[in-house]
């Protein structure tokens, strides 16, 4: 039987027809980790430019700018998403790897607190992907960001989550 | 012959191996419009909840919160994307419509200035999509944001762009 | 006899003639709640427009935009008020109800920490009221915001406070 | 006869039941000035402390902190009010004077642009008033902010506005 | 022999050739204090203007604006320095004193948490110095900020630090 | 005879004993460029680590993070310095070069507008220097930032400025 306090099957941010922040007062504090990913389909030409291992090539600046923008966006999540709680962040790690005709961006965020860091990981992956887009858009306006999704979430009462592989 | 000042086939934000802002001083000011879209695949259950036309249903709060978050994010674009220029914004319009098992979010941004508003439209669509995710994630953690891309761009020396329909 | 560490009767933010942040190191952490209210006198014409219960009427967008702006402002309080401490927020709840020829906005904020959330509640009520003003000002520039005040404050060493009813 | 594009009698920020930014593209650029005021009722005891002309008294820090916070808030207006346009600010002037059992705060903002600065002046007066509250609240929690309103507005197609004296 | 977990002799923010946030999860929470200083060489003429003890002289506004700007910058440190962790701040104290042909600015920051407040103190001293520069630059563009450095740091596993006197 | 409107010999941000923003309404718009520099004395050991040209060495991440943080800080100048006007930025260029036992950071900012970009260049150089400090501080807490100053300023009525070489 599903417990009555389950938050799984309702619009938790809507109350009496109005948008609303969830009250996390009764939650217990604990270690929480979330991982999100995004893919950016850049096309073969840009990818070739990025894969070049020349010291003066663009891969360093493009990837590093994306990592820094993503990290700073993780810290801004509660400013961007109206009903996210501000929280202390303990770790934030980005990995960007070439894949197919684009790159895959992975953002892992961790904290110790009363609420999870799903939105922080999703926001970080999203802004890192937008930054890759920005730095490559002069070469190809058809770049597409896709498969932005939660990969895993651990910690917290609602249970761990691991996405199906794809 | 391609003109020497074309910005089409280089990493415009990389100079001498370092990331760098493009100098827009020589550009001429003009009317510029960009449209971006994102899709959020919510699954049938959530979509049914949102499609409900009951006055007290969640559709109003979810869509309106996404529009407001997206509009505020458009204004924050140059804070999020390291080499975006701050600019005056004249118009910002969102449309969110159900489509398939999710929603399609369209963000149109306009300005009069020396640089385009592609990144503003992309950032707006992205944050509106993240906000829809946030307000629905308690019901389904497998929500996926995809097809975030530029739909059109008009104004500016580099010519207009219209994405292939998909 | 009043204890020497009482903070009740001095300008706590002024030291040696200079403005100064209060050091909250010695305070103990605890549950703290504050409620603030503001009234916005809109005039009968606007109120009639808002009271209309039509699904397509402006009440939904006006109230929801005010709630969202107020919630985001609560999170920005320490950026706006120079000597406010940044803090983790656990709950933030808005109620907007018609009253007389205007609306009454109530903002309740809660946290667990070393300092209270009075300024957060006051800032939230204030920005929600300004947002109502913004969305109605084309119809009446004589809108007035008044009676912005603390309604109650609980938790913390200085004792609970409950405003006189008015 | 009133022109059909008049923005005087509608909820300009609501379109098709959704909140929306006004498109200022067709507006013409010009000099625009707005003045707003707020009153803060502090009570006689605090006012006596502030009226003291001693060099080391609290009046300097309290008033100056309010002016600085108000000025910085004017610059943040488009971050706080969801559908305000970001704009270049040319002047921002505060006056704080004792009046009755409190202070009257006057904020004047000017720009050259396509949209007015009403919300900037209102936001500046509001945050200056909140800062006075913050710096005095340890002495009196019953402080009340009232009569926050637009005093005048000049420039722009919709005509000048001057509030009735009160 | 140096312990393997020492963070003293490596670029802690670089991993596998990419910039990276340090994961503070394993650190223990504790009381941490940092003090930083900066000097601003203003020249004799400006200093004479600031030293004037006249009630209407510029010293009050210049010093108080610098203190307020510095305090607000301390709270913004994690927004400015890409790999700084956001943290709760408990105390922040500024002292500005004339010295030689300029002023010495001292910023002390304290918190209880998992990571130190060195960067907060350094950022606060820096922005207070920039504000003094801004308010005096019309009189002398050759103003120089120098000797911005950490004075002391206490708390945390890596041990206390006290700068050599200079 | 000095013209009465000269802004050279007064505290332009102080009026009637209160801090105050300068009204730039009467200024004419024009092309304005400012260059500022800072030096960071890192010590020989860290400099050796940064000078290493190995692809996986720390020089890339340290310099690139500083450039990105500096660029983002230039855009935040009017949020940090209380009486700076918000302005549109057209170009922002950083150069970081080893010099002596540290690095020299040069920040050039350009705009077309009514007010100069001195504070933007100074703030950019300052935050880039703080970021270098942050990324190296685990190896040496005695790092010192010095010689932060304006190198040149062109455009605007008050005339060009070029610092004495040093």
Secondary structure of F26-70 in HEC code, one letter for each residue: CCCCEEEEEEEEEEEECCHHHHHHHHCCCCCCCHHHHHHHHHHHH
- What region, left, alpha or beta, does residue A12 occupy, with left being phi > 0 and alpha being psi -120 to 50 degrees? alpha
Of A41, A134, A147, A160, the active-site residue reads A134
At residue C50, the 3 state secondary structure works out as helix
d(CA B19, CA B25): 18
Percent of chain A with pLDDT over 90: 71
Distance from the B118 Cα atom to the nearest Cα atom in chain A, whole angstroms: 9
Please indicate if any CB of chain C lies within 8 Å of the CB of B91: no
pLDDT at C111 over 60: yes
Alpha-helical (H) ranges within D81-166 are: 118-136
* Strand partners of residue B152: B35, B162
Cβ contacts from A onto B, under 8 A? 189
Mean pLDDT computed over F41-61: 78
* Strand partners of residue F27: none
Do C62 and C42 touch, CB atoms closer than 8 A?
Answer: no
pLDDT at E52 over 70: no
Give per-residue pLDDT as tens, D104-114. 999 999 999 99
Residue to mutate among F62, F65, F73, F75, with most A CBs inside 10 A, is F65
Task: Give φ, ψ of E118 to 5 degrees.
Answer: -55, -50
Residues of chain D contacting B63 with CB distance shorter than 8 Å: 18
Mean pLDDT computed over A37-61: 81
DSSP class of A164 = P
Lowest-confidence segment of D88-97, E15-24, E81-90, F117-126 by average pLDDT: E15-24
Question: At F133, which helix (H) or strand (E)?
Answer: helix F118-136
Mean pLDDT computed over A122-144: 96
Question: How confident is the model at residue E101, as a pLDDT?
Answer: 92
Give per-residue pLDDT as tens, D10-59. 888 888 888 999 999 989 999 999 999 999 999 998 988 887 655 456 78
Distance from the D127 Cα atom to the nearest Cα atom in chain E, whole angstroms: 15
Please indicate if any CB of chain A lies within 8 Å of the CB of B53: no
* Strand partners of residue D145: C148, D40
Between A25, A78, A82, which is nearest C90 by CB?
Answer: A25
* Strand partners of residue C113: C30
Question: How confident is the model at residue E9, as a pLDDT?
Answer: 66
- Cβ of D64 within 8 Å of Cβ of E69? The answer is no
Number of C-beta neighbours around residue D161 at 10 A: 17
Between D20, D88, D113, which is nearest B93 by CB?
Answer: D20
d(CA F14, CA C92): 39
Please indicate if any CB of chain B lies within 8 Å of the CB of C92: no
Number of C-beta neighbours around residue B31 at 10 A: 13
- For tokens 């705060």, what's the residue? D105
Query: Cα dist. F161→E58, F32, F166 in Å?
Result: 25, 12, 15
B35: its two tokens: 């449209």
Rounded (5°) CA angle C38-D75-F157: 150
Number of C-beta neighbours around residue A98 at 10 A: 14
**Torsion angle of alpha carbons D91, B21, F120, D87, nearest 10°?**
10
pLDDT at F5 over 70: no
Residue D130's pLDDT band, with cuts at 50, 70 and 90, is very high
At residue F9, the 3 state secondary structure works out as coil
B88: its two tokens: 């005056």
Please indicate if any CB of chain B lies within 8 Å of the CB of F93: yes
CATH architecture of the region E29-155: 2-Layer Sandwich (3.30)
d(CA D106, CA D121): 9
At residue D84, the 3 state secondary structure works out as coil
Using CA coordinates, name the residue in chain B closest to F109: B23
Residue D6's pLDDT band, with cuts at 50, 70 and 90, is very low
Using CA coordinates, name the residue in chain B closest to C61: B64
Give per-residue pLDDT as tens, A6-15. 444 688 888 8
Do A99 and A114 touch, CB atoms closer than 8 A?
Answer: no
Question: How confident is the model at residue E53, as a pLDDT?
Answer: 53
Question: How confident is the model at residue B59, as a pLDDT?
Answer: 81
Distance from the D15 Cα atom to the nearest Cα atom in chain F, whole angstroms: 30
Number of C-beta neighbours around residue C95 at 10 A: 15
B165: its two tokens: 């329909």
Q: Count Cβ atoms within 10 A of the Cβ of residue D129 and give its class: 0-12 exposed, 13-18 middle, 19 or more buried.
A: buried
Question: How confident is the model at residue B9, as a pLDDT?
Answer: 66
Using CA coordinates, name the residue in chain B closest to F112: B25
Between D64, D75, D90, which is nearest F114 by CB?
Answer: D90
Q: How many helices (H) and strands (E) does chain A have?
A: 4, 7
DSSP class of C92 = E
Residues of chain E contacting A75 with CB distance shorter than 8 Å: 78-79, 86
Beta strands in A30-141 (DSSP E): 30-41, 91-99, 102-113
Alpha-helical (H) ranges within chain C are: 44-51, 59-75, 77-80, 118-136
Query: Considering Cα of C69, then C74, then C75, then C79, what sign does the dihedral take?
Result: positive
Nearest to C37 by CA among C96, C110, C98, C87: C96
Using CA coordinates, name the residue in chain A closest to B47: A11
Residues of chain F contacting E2 with CB distance shorter than 8 Å: none
Question: How confident is the model at residue C49, as a pLDDT?
Answer: 84
Distance from the F65 Cα atom to the nearest Cα atom in chain E, whole angstroms: 7
A114: its two tokens: 């009363």
C146: its two tokens: 């008044």
B40: its two tokens: 């959020």
Task: Give φ, ψ of D62 to 5 degrees.
Answer: -65, -50
Query: Cα dist. E91→C16, C24, C76, C85, E145 in Å?
Result: 17, 6, 19, 8, 25
pLDDT, averaged across chain F: 89
Question: How confident is the model at residue B122, as a pLDDT?
Answer: 98
Question: How confident is the model at residue F11, as a pLDDT?
Answer: 86
Alpha carbon D34 to its chain centroid, in Å, reads 8
At residue B153, the 3 state secondary structure works out as strand
pLDDT at A166 over 90: no
Q: Count Cβ atoms within 10 A of the Cβ of residue B104 and give its class: 0-12 exposed, 13-18 middle, 19 or more buried.
A: middle
Do F123 and F73 touch, CB atoms closer than 8 A?
Answer: yes
Do C98 and C106 touch, CB atoms closer than 8 A?
Answer: no
CATH architecture of the region F31-162: 2-Layer Sandwich (3.30)
Distance from the F114 Cα atom to the nearest Cα atom in chain E, whole angstroms: 16
ipTM, 2 dp = 0.93
**Residues 6 or more apart in contact with residue E1 via CB below 8 angstroms:** none
A95: its two tokens: 């990995």
Please indicate if any CB of chain B lies within 8 Å of the CB of F163: no
Mean pLDDT computed over A26-48: 94
Chains that touch B (3 or more CB pairs under 8 A): A, C, D, F
pLDDT at A56 over 90: no
d(CA E166, CA E146): 13
Please indicate if any CB of chain F lies within 8 Å of the CB of E162: no
Task: Give φ, ψ of C137 to 5 degrees.
Answer: -70, -20
Residue to mutate among F64, F71, F134, with most A CBs inside 10 A, is F64
Using CA coordinates, name the residue in chain B closest to D24: B90
**DSSP line for chain E:** ---TT--SSS-TTEETTEE-PPP-TTSPPEEEEEEEEEEEE--HHHHHHHH---TTSSHHHHHHHHHHHHHHHHHTHHHHSTTPPP----EEEEEEEEETTEEEEEEEEEEEESS--HHHHHHHHHHHHHHHHHHHTTT-TT-EEEEEEEEEEESSTT--EEPPP-
pLDDT tens string, chain B, 166 residues long: the values are 333 344 446 888 888 888 999 999 989 999 999 999 999 999 998 988 887 655 456 788 899 999 999 999 999 999 999 999 999 899 999 999 999 999 999 999 999 999 999 999 999 999 999 999 999 999 999 999 999 999 999 998 878 999 998 6
Topology of the domain covering A39-155:
Alpha-Beta Plaits (3.30.70)
Residues of chain F contacting B13 with CB distance shorter than 8 Å: none
Question: At B134, which helix (H) or strand (E)?
Answer: helix B118-136
Question: How confident is the model at residue E54, as a pLDDT?
Answer: 54
pLDDT at D67 over 90: yes
pLDDT at D4 over 50: no
Of B23, B134, B147, B160, the active-site residue reads B134
- Cβ of C64 within 8 Å of Cβ of B69? The answer is no
Number of C-beta neighbours around residue A63 at 10 A: 26
d(CA C162, CA B32): 54
pTM of the predicted structure, to 2 decimals: 0.94
Residue D131's pLDDT band, with cuts at 50, 70 and 90, is very high
Residue to mutate among C12, C16, C18, C27, with most E CBs inside 10 A, is C18
d(CA A60, CA F132): 18
Alpha carbon B24 to its chain centroid, in Å, reads 22
Q: Count Cβ atoms within 10 A of the Cβ of residue E15 and give its class: 0-12 exposed, 13-18 middle, 19 or more buried.
A: middle
Give per-residue pLDDT as tens, E128-162. 999 999 999 999 999 999 999 999 999 988 789 99
Please indicate if any CB of chain D lies within 8 Å of the CB of C79: yes
- For tokens 């642009």, what's the residue? D113
Residue to mutate among C66, C74, C92, C106, with most A CBs inside 10 A, is C92
Of D16, D93, D134, D160, the active-site residue reads D134
DSSP class of A158 = T
- Cβ of F53 within 8 Å of Cβ of A53? The answer is no
Question: At A163, which helix (H) or strand (E)?
Answer: none
Do A157 and A27 touch, CB atoms closer than 8 A?
Answer: yes
Question: How confident is the model at residue A57, as a pLDDT?
Answer: 66
- Cβ of C86 within 8 Å of Cβ of E89? The answer is yes
pLDDT, averaged across chain A: 89
Mean pLDDT computed over F64-80: 97
d(CA B70, CA B64): 10
Q: 3.40.50.720, 3.30.540.10, 3.40.50.880, 3.30.70.640: which CATH number matches D37-156?
A: 3.30.70.640
Please indicate if any CB of chain E lies within 8 Å of the CB of C79: yes
Lowest-confidence segment of A48-52, B150-154, E120-124, F22-26 by average pLDDT: A48-52
Give per-residue pLDDT as tens, C50-108. 876 554 567 888 999 999 999 999 999 999 999 999 998 999 999 999 999 999 999 99
Longest CA pairwise span in chain F (Å): 61
pLDDT, averaged across chain C: 89
d(CA D48, CA F71): 47
Nearest to B85 by CA among B119, B37, B55: B119
Percent of chain D with pLDDT over 90: 71
- Cβ of C60 within 8 Å of Cβ of B65? The answer is no
Domain C29-157 has CATH 3.30.70.640: yes
């Amino acid at each position: 039987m599903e417990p009555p306090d389950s938050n799984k099957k309702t619009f938790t941010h809507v109350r009496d027809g109005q948008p609303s922040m969830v009250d996390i007062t009764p939650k217990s504090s604990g270690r929480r980790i979330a991982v999100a990913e995004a893919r950016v389909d850049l096309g073969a030409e840009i990818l070739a430019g990025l894969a070049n291992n020349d010291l003066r090539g663009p891969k360093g600046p493009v990837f590093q700018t994306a990592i820094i923008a993503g990290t700073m966006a993780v810290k801004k999540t509660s400013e961007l998403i109206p009903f996210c709680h501000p929280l202390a962040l303990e770790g934030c790690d980005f990995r960007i790897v070439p894949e197919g005709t684009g790159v895959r961006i992975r953002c892992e965020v961790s904290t110790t607190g009363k609420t999870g860091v799903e939105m922080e990981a999703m926001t970080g992956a999203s802004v890192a992907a937008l930054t890759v887009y920005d730095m490559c858009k002069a070469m190809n306006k058809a770049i597409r960001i896709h498969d932005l999704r939660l990969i895993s979430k651990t910690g917290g009462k609602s249970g761990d989550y691991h996405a199906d592989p794809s």
